């Protein structure tokens, strides 16, 4: 027989359970809250900040970085391209880009369910996250617009503005969207699961780097290159832009954790350490090879280290970050200084050599440095260093094929219709005047 006190406690628990159930049934808000993650102010604040930081990477960061590297007669054309891509691709993201990247499954893309943000309200929460869906839309929009912003540097000073805009919009929908959808939404990229890419080594850097290589070859070399040296007209612009990119990358990588927590903190730390290591290694290489370390070299090294750590930043520790940054500096320097000269492709601002190669390095090396042996955070269940390395290599290969084939087809079509390149007279005059009727510097 139960003791009276036990019977009273049992009745108390039953009454409490009944009361809670009644309260949830009578209050739809509480019932919904029990099923849907609540929006957390701390996570929301961090991602709002990260969204601003990634936009800061594009305008003014990337715009100034590239503008300083071209000749003075083309400075406005680069700034114009960065600003125009920011505006146009933001609207494309609203119309269909977001819906095709982050909803449903239609085989190779998402669905059309959220075109024009249909059905999304201020109370909508993205998936199982703790942020408003509007904020997720805005944060991912910045990745969508900066990716084609990267490859415009490869064919700088010679491609038509109209051709750049058409190519960028179509490429974004046919290359970026399926890569984003497969890697970050469906979590199955051409049948590969457990692909590691926190912030875009595959989705951003390899896709853009391959497009840059294909485009610079198809558009052709600048008149006079490589016999005539085409020196940067304003290195202070470039150094300032590189600094802005470095700062903004904290939001690019750290924000991709979608939470204000220890993982985001570690991501910021390894991002910074990779860039720092790459700076030092690039400067040392130049010191050995040419006797002096250049400001342009140390800035380029920083970008190489940042590109390489992007896919790995959620999985590696400080030691892994330093190793990835160091390797990226050496290999990217080799591609920029040796491979480009050997094969004579005019990648004007070394987009392929820095972003494409750097993104590939980070995508592959994360399989090694994610190991706890190197201070990494380990692998998904059932994965080992060997299987992860295979997965990363295959994911990189599929991305190279996707971006390469689509880029080639699009550029062929554009060249056959509106044309890719300005004529020789316009190129000699400079795109600022030829394409925009303005001059960056007036007496």
| pLDDT-derived band at 79, boundaries 50, 70, 90 | very high
Query: With 90 as the cut, is the pLDDT of residue 33 above it?
Result: no
Angle between helices 295-309 and 318-334 (to 10 degrees): 120
In whole numbers, what is the pLDDT of the chain averaged over residues? 93
Per-residue model confidence (pLDDT) at position 37: 74
Structural domain boundaries of the chain?
8-37, 44-436
Q: Are 440 and 75 in contact (CB under 8 A)?
A: yes
Q: Are 174 and 201 in contact (CB under 8 A)?
A: no
Per-residue model confidence (pLDDT) at position 128: 85
Per-residue model confidence (pLDDT) at position 106: 87
Q: What is the pLDDT of residues 349-393, one digit of tens each?
A: 999 999 999 999 999 999 999 999 999 999 999 999 999 999 999
Domain made up of 44-436: CATH architecture: Orthogonal Bundle (1.10)
Token pair recorded at residue 323: 């190793």
Per-residue model confidence (pLDDT) at position 35: 57
Q: What is the mean pLDDT of residues 244-268?
A: 98
Token pair recorded at residue 331: 């290999």
Distances (CA, A) of 196 to 20, 47, 123, 187: 42, 21, 31, 10
Per-residue model confidence (pLDDT) at position 24: 40
Q: What is the pLDDT of residues 298-330, one digit of tens each?
A: 999 999 999 999 999 999 999 999 999 999 999
Q: Which long-range contacts (CB under 8 A, 24 or more apart) does 396-400 make?
A: 396/202, 396/206, 396/360, 396/363, 396/364, 398/189, 398/190, 398/192, 399/179, 399/202, 399/206, 399/207, 399/210, 400/206, 400/210
Query: With 60 as the cut, is the pLDDT of residue 5 above it?
Result: no
Query: With 60 as the cut, is the pLDDT of residue 395 above it?
Result: yes
Range with lowest mean pLDDT among 59-68, 91-100, 123-132, 360-369: 123-132
Per-residue model confidence (pLDDT) at position 36: 62
């Amino acid at each position: 027989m139960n003791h009276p006190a036990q019977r009273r406690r049992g009745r108390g628990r039953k009454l409490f359970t009944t009361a809670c159930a009644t309260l949830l049934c009578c209050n739809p808000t509480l019932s919904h809250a029990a099923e849907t993650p609540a929006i957390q102010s701390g996570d929301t604040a961090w991602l709002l900040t990260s969204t601003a930081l990634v936009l800061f990477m594009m305008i003014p960061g990337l715009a100034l970085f590239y503008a300083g590297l071209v000749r003075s007669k083309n400075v406005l054309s680069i700034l114009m391209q960065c600003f125009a891509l920011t505006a146009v691709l933001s609207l494309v993201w609203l119309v269909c880009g977001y819906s095709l990247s982050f909803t449903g499954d239609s085989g190779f893309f998402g669905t059309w369910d959220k075109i024009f943000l249909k059905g999304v309200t201020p109370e909508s929460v993205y998936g199982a996250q703790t942020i408003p869906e509007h904020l997720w839309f805005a944060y991912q929009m910045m990745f969508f617009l900066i990716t084609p912003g990267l490859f415009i540097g490869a064919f700088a000073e010679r491609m038509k503005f109209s051709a750049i805009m058409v190519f960028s919009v179509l490429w974004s929908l046919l290359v970026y969207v399926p890569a984003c959808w497969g890697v970050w939404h469906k979590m199955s990229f051409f049948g590969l699961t457990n692909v590691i890419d926190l912030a875009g080594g595959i989705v951003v850097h390899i896709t853009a780097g391959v497009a840059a290589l294909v485009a610079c070859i198809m558009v052709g070399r600048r008149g006079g290159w490589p016999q005539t040296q085409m020196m940067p007209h304003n290195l202070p612009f470039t150094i300032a832009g590189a600094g802005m990119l470095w700062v903004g990358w904290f939001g690019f990588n750290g924000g991709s954790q979608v939470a204000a927590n220890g993982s985001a903190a570690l991501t910021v730390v390894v991002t910074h350490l990779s860039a720092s290591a790459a700076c030092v290694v690039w400067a040392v290489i130049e010191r050995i090879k040419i006797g002096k370390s250049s400001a342009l070299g140390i800035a380029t090294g920083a970008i190489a280290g940042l590109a390489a750590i992007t896919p790995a930043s959620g999985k590696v520790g400080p030691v892994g970050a330093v190793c990835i940054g160091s390797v990226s500096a050496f290999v990217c320097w080799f591609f920029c200084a040796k491979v480009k000269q050997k094969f004579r492709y005019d990648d004007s601002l070394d987009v392929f050599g820095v972003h494409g190669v750097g993104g590939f390095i980070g995508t592959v090396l994360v399989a090694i440095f994610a190991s706890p042996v190197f201070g990494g955070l380990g692998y998904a269940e059932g994965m080992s260093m060997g299987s992860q390395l295979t997965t990363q290599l295959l994911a990189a290969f599929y991305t190279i094929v996707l971006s390469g084939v689509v880029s080639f087809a699009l550029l062929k079509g554009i060249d056959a219709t509106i044309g890719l390149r300005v004529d020789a007279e316009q190129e000699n005059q400079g795109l600022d005047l030829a394409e925009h009727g303005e001059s960056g510097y007036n007496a």
